[in-house]
Chain A
Amino acid sequence: MKRLLVANRGEIAVRIIRAARDLGISTVAVHSTADTDARHVRLADAAVEIGPPAANKSYLVADAIVEAARSSGADAVHPGYGFLSERAAFAAAVSDAGLAFVGPDAAVIDQMGDKVRARQVAAAAGVPTVPGTPGGVEDVAAAVAAAAEIGYPVMLKAAAGGGGRGIRVVDDEAGLREAFPAASREAANAFGDGRMYLERFVRRARHVEVQVLGDGSDAVHLFERECSLQRRRQKVVEEALAPGIDAGVREGMTAAAARLAREVGYRSAGTVEFLVDDETHEFFFIEMNTRIQVEHPTTELVTGVDLVAEQLRIAAGERLSRAQDDIVARGWAIEFRINAEDPTRGFLPSPGKVGTVELPAGPWVRVDTWLESGATVPPFYDSLLAKVVVWGEDRESAIRRSRRALAEFTVEGVPTTAGLHTEILDQEWFGAGEFHTGALEQWLSEREEPA
């Protein structure tokens, strides 16, 4: 690999260019006409304009990007996250053009992108999935038998129905016997099909994901990240490791993720997402993300492994550089996503011209960003301005250092979510690591209510 085209923009394009340069690989940026002066364009050794501002006319046009790689003499393409990163057809087009795709094979992207097939792979690898009755059950007796296997509380919904219509949660067999007939009758009336689908209901769930690296024949894990703090399904704060799981869960979950990666012959960096029942400590496979993730720096800070560099080495045909036993987690890392959004106006996106920018620095503080004084935040792409990532020898010192780092962060001209993070840091539930996937939105709505 001599010349890498980075098929992305923003902070991740900057991040990938840096990793390539560290390995002595030259880089080609692509950009829309809105990003002509962007940081990633200036950092790269060469740049190719690929279209007008709208992503579907530039960063999402696979042909334009493959052509840019060809014309600029690149021999590899890194898709970053978002945009074309999980489109199997793009990975195939890159390979067909004789270039290395920095990611898994198109067939694996396809396989893991399909919920049903991904679940089958998980089952084959002995990775637990949320217990349920995929085919549905017809009567109370069958439901009671199925629920005994699944374990209570159980969620009951019409097998033929979509969305959240008619969903009931029952806590025990008596509740199920009472709820089933009416629910089934409703389903029959609404859909002409009275069969009910049963699934374990997780009242308090955590979103925990495991980082994996594979070279096509072997795979290792790099421990987990806790990503439960979300707003509208967008992660806000992530950390490595996960505060809410014990050593047993950690061991089981990380081993399961590595098994899954091995089962599919995974090549590159990937993330196996799990839902953890905060009450029973069971974990269930949700899906696999076949790309580098926004929150990957937290894993890098606790393991000392440059995940993007590993992706590049693996795409160049190298084997995994470390055995599982050589990967250890040290200390704690927290990432804060700072978005150009106004928390006082319902998180209204706030593009525009930026004034002075001052970024935190100092011991064990890393800022991944494209932002600089005088830059313009374009309205066409996501609102991520910067990721402030902080390491500490334990969670408590990481939190303390995070307060210091966030206080150093200044952006003039556009509202950001930086202040919100400072507030989150001061919440008791955050300090105690006691939260779940609904916790942040619950706190935000309580916070909005007038005192």
Chain B
Amino acid sequence: MSRIEVVSPIPGVFYRRPDPDSDVFAKEGQPIGADDTVCLVEVMKSFHPVPAGAAGTLVEFLVENEDVVDAGQAVAVIEAG
């Protein structure tokens, strides 16, 4: 089992939901596909989905909803397998 970090490619504000009234993209502990979106990062009024990048289980999020993240910062951990 390998732990893989999901990294935000851009700086901005981290969101776990597509919009305030919807469910989160992914919950901790759930299985996830490589192309599944795990979060959005808002940069300069545009929203960029961040895919899991690897299939496995979403173990944990490393940042809170609406936190500010840097480019290259790890936002979640996936256990591949």
Chain A residues proximal to chain B, CB less than 8 Å: 53-54, 340-341, 348-349, 351-352, 379-383
Contacts and interface: CB of A to CB of B under 8 A. Distances in A.
Contacts of B13: 54, 379-380
A379 B66 contact: no
Contacts of B71: 352
A340 B45 CA distance: 12
Given A351-B12, A380-B12, A381-B45, 8 more contacts: A54-B13, A349-B46, A351-B11, A351-B43, A379-B43, A379-B68, A382-B44, A383-B44
A348 B12 CA distance: 12
Contacts of B10: 348-349, 379
A53 B68 contact: yes
A54 B43 contact: no
A382 B45 contact: yes
Contacts of A348: 10
A417 to B, nearest CB: 13
Contacts of A349: 10, 43-44, 46
Interface string B33-46: 00000000011111
Contacts of B44: 340-341, 349, 351, 379-383
Interface in B4-29: 10-13
Contacts of A380: 12-13, 44
6 contacts: A54-B66, A351-B43, A379-B12, A379-B44, A380-B13, A382-B44
Nearest to A53: B68
Nearest to A232: B46
Interface centre among A348, A349, A381, A382, by most B CB within 10 Å? A349
Contacts of A381: 44-45
A379 B10 CA distance: 9
A380 to B, nearest CB: 7
**Can you list the 8 inter-chain pairs with the closest CB atoms, starting with the nearest?**
A349-B44, A383-B44, A379-B12, A379-B11, A349-B43, A379-B43, A382-B45, A351-B11
Contacts of B42: 379
Nearest to A383: B44
